[in-house]
Amino acid sequence: MRAAQGQNSPVVHLPAGRLRGATEGGVAAFRRVPYAAPPTGGLRWRPAQPYAGWSGVRDATTDGPSAPQSYTEGGDPVLGGHGSPPFDDDCLTLNVWTPSADDAGRPVLVWIHGGGFVSGSGSLPNYSGEAFARNGDLVVVSVNYRIGPLGYLYFGADGTDGADSADGASGGDSRAGDEGAAEPGNFWLTDQIAALRWVHDHIAHFGGDPDRITVAGQSGGAVSTAALAGHPEAQGLFRRAILQSPPLGLHIPTPAEYLPRTAAYLRLAGVRDVDGLRALPWPRLIEAAQGLFGQTRRWGYWPTPFLPVRDGVTLRRHPARTLLHDAAADIDVMIGWTREEATFGFALDEGYAAATRGQVLERIAETFPDRADEVYGTYEEVRAGARPVDVLMGLISDELFRAPCVELAEARAELGRPVWAYQFDFPTPALQGRLAATHCLELPFVFGDFARWSHAPFLSGIDPAVRTGLGHAMHQAWIAFVRTGDPNHPDLPGWERYAAPARTTMRFDAVTAADGDPAGVARRLHHRASR
């Protein structure tokens, strides 16, 4: 059944029950829609389970709680915060925005938030789908899923710590094989699969076309998007993917590598096994997670206390490779990065600002054992007057983001599969310009609604005319890609697919232009390192 369209309170009839939403900014919004059973009690650290439904009319006018995470009043100096109360482990809900809950069969955009696997929410005002729905005639869905210890712990076959010591609990960066175990993990991914299946099965009730779904995500959410593309249960559930700043250079551990980290977390929580964790309130779980940051941190590496695990069941290969295999190879892909990704996590840290050449050379030598001086010199040449911290920022940005993104684009192009590449070049003047074109900075431009990002310090001082023009270029490119699989639109310079030898990449800046191979230095350096 289609919706009963009231002026301000549209009602949608679903198999699980009726939903009453609200009209916001000229579009219908339905919030806190359950797509899986609450993962509480005995369902903690279990794959997502079906939701039983409800009786009567369910109010869908207010956001559901975000997944439990650490929270600091006043936020942070870059984003101004990436998650805010209320939090609860009963969090498996999604939000839907639609121009009208009719039978128009509009293209669908599903948004998966990032946050280093430990923060963020599909309920954040920043990620409202209202502008996309209104400006692009799209149906937009944002998803809440389990993060941090509730989503990313792995327990092995017996549900215990799997190790006698935490000596291996480190943020290692070496690559490993794809061996796995029979016991599933990646509860976050089971949530996202359940949400994607729910969208495919129900989005027609909201005016969407289940055969024209695009999944998009940023940072950790882009890793999720890639992982979904390769999941057997997601085959055929979406046809396009947008990967914004995916940290595809992360090492994704095997079960044997991950279990010592789980052991360290159990000790921090003061319990012996998963049953002990299930007895704890979620605030205690988040408190223990903070301790794991300290135990896994390494100088010159992005801190990632929780990671996906290649369990051989839900995740069979590194997400960087999923879009090259089987049905996932046929998905249309747009992929991009910001020019100075790493400044987000390091540039405002006085310890890193004071880094010496010797410290940075030691860090470079971990990736380039025989060429540290040569690589340091290359980064100095790329940026005139570079300080040691600038060289380090270039290395981390390339190693974690730009080089593996380009490697994926190169591989898809060699297979003759469609891929479009972009680089976000616009430097923010905020915070004395120390962030430049940092990680996450493209997000408000993509979502096209700066009023919802007014709390974010990294937008301070941007010329309103530049903000409007660049926001229009990016917002419309995303809409075009969701609608057609091609990001070109009349107000954008011609954007060709990525392919050798041109390697066309759209550079989004105050003046946006297509360029040939702007990531060439990273591509050549890190290709040699990976051989």
Contact of 69 with 87, CB cutoff 8 Å: yes
Q: Which of 113, 439, 489, 526 is catalytic?
A: 439
Q: At residue 96, what are phi and psi to the nearest 5 degrees?
A: -130, 135
CA distance 32 to 65: 8
CA distance 45 to 42: 8
Report which secondary-structure segment, H or E, holds 218: strand 208-218
CA distance 243 to 5: 35
User: Which residues lie closer than 8 Å to 402 by C-beta, 6 or more apart?
Assistant: 337, 341, 423, 519, 522
Looking up tokens 């000229």, which residue turns up? Answer: 26
The total of other beta-carbon atoms located within 10 Å of residue 5's CB is 14
CA distance 294 to 300: 14
The total of other beta-carbon atoms located within 10 Å of residue 13's CB is 15
What SS3 state is found at 493?
coil
Report which secondary-structure segment, H or E, holds 14: strand 11-14
CA distance 253 to 468: 42
CA distance 220 to 82: 13
Q: Which of 341, 399, 410, 442 is catalytic?
A: 341
Q: At residue 93, what are phi and psi to the nearest 5 degrees?
A: -130, 165
Identify whether 501 is preceded by a cis peptide bond (ω within 30 of 0).
yes
Q: Which of 219, 224, 245, 397 is catalytic?
A: 219
Which two structure tokens, joined as six digits, stand for 208?
């969407």
User: Which residues lie closer than 8 Å to 324 by C-beta, 6 or more apart?
Assistant: 408, 411, 412, 415, 417
Return the sign of the alpha-carbon dihedral for residues 378, 383, 385, 389.
negative
Report which secondary-structure segment, H or E, holds 404: helix 403-414
Q: Does 341 qualify as catalytic in the annotation? A: yes
Which two structure tokens, joined as six digits, stand for 331?
């998905």
β-bridge mates for residue 436, sequence order? 428
CA distance 235 to 228: 9
Return the sign of the alpha-carbon dihedral for residues 148, 154, 159, 163.
negative
Q: Does 472 qualify as catalytic in the annotation? A: no
Length of the chain equals 531
- Side chain identity, residue 165: S
DSSP state of 400: I
Contact of 91 with 65, CB cutoff 8 Å: yes
User: Which residues lie closer than 8 Å to 143 by C-beta, 6 or more apart?
Assistant: 35, 94, 110, 111, 112, 113, 122, 191, 192, 195
Q: Does 219 qualify as catalytic in the annotation? A: yes
Catalytic residues: 219, 341, 439
